[in-house]
Structure 1
């Protein structure tokens, strides 16, 4: 998901470089190496869609981005409805690793009826993987509400997969979040 307007950041944070690589590209590179069956990027930004397409992502223009995160969830889900599960990942976690995503996917593949989310010391974060039977609930989301609402309705199905470090779950909301 790469549709944020960067209001708290003051500009399109997804174009901001971390260690010389824009946030959106770091996210795409991380996901591209995880062995997912299909990749898509939801964004209203042409530069991000073009970069995604070059990396093998299905580019999905998010014309409803102003509605909030649910527009990205619905749009991304529309391209994944035939799969057994869908992973949603944001593009503002510059230190997320491919290894952690692979570990989470391995857990999901073993227990395909569960919800899996990356975590640190029991605290849930992003990304998360949702099984097919919850696609209807994801598709019904509206406004600035994401998959966390679905997770809250099914806490008994949630399996937390520990990240390699807390830094992986850190997201960028303001320029100060990029300071060491």
Structure 2
């Protein structure tokens, strides 16, 4: 099984007030650098989807993401679904499963990613949960890639999940990080 990750990093940070991917975290690392490093250390391969304006603004300068792993999504303003579809269409043919990860969620434990990857399967959707609440990242098997490539708007992979309840694998985790994202500057100290 080759399990890669798509890191969705094309958002507009409207509630944050500035580009939250460049916000600093403890350890003097940016949100984007922290999240991408977490994934690089725990999945087989990584693709990062962003919009051209963020790429041109040197948002990636603080990361060690090779340029060939960055996919530009020109219609990212139409919603997360478009970014997801763009990333899915760029996947290498040898991937068996894919974690769909959000760039503003750097607090997930490495062991959580490892457990999700260990349950990856071509015909399953693995969803982590914390105290009964579903979180991220969600791992989609290869069987769902064609449907995910049609994603639109802000629903991301939710429609695909709803269409395949019999293929869901809910994985209860002891990791509140699967629910912690960064929406406003106030979320930074609360998560430290």
TM-score, normalization by structure 2: 0.83
Structure 2 Cα separation of the partners of residues 176 and 50 of structure 1: 24
Question: Unpaired runs of 5+ in structure 2?
Answer: 1-7
Runs of 4+ in structure 1 deviating by more than 3 angstroms, as ranges, are: 48-52, 54-57
Quick check: 1:94–1:168 contact (8 Å CA) kept in 2? no
Correspondence 1:10-159 to 2 at 5 A: 10-19=17-26, 20-36=28-44, 38-44=45-51, 45-46=54-55, 47-49=58-60, 54-56=64-66, 58-80=69-91, 82=93, 83-108=95-120, 111-159=121-169
Is the counterpart of residue 160 in structure 1 residue 170 in structure 2? yes
CA–CA distance in structure 1, aligned partners of residues 134 and 144 of structure 2: 18
How many residues align? The count is: 176
How big is the shift at 1:26? 0.9
Unaligned 5+ segments in structure 1 are: none
Tell me if the contact between 2:12 and 2:19 (Cα under 8 Å) persists in the aligned partners: yes
Q: Give the equivalent residue in structure 1 for 2:4.
A: none
Which residue, out of 9, 16, 33, partners 1:9? 16
Q: Tell me how large the CA RMSD over aligned residues is.
A: 1.8
Query: Which of 173, 177, 181 is equivalent to 1:171?
Result: 181
Q: TM-score, normalised by structure 1?
A: 0.88
Describe the superposition over 1:28-56 as per-residue Cα deviations: whole angstroms up to 9, x where unpaired. Answer: 011001132x211111212245555x334
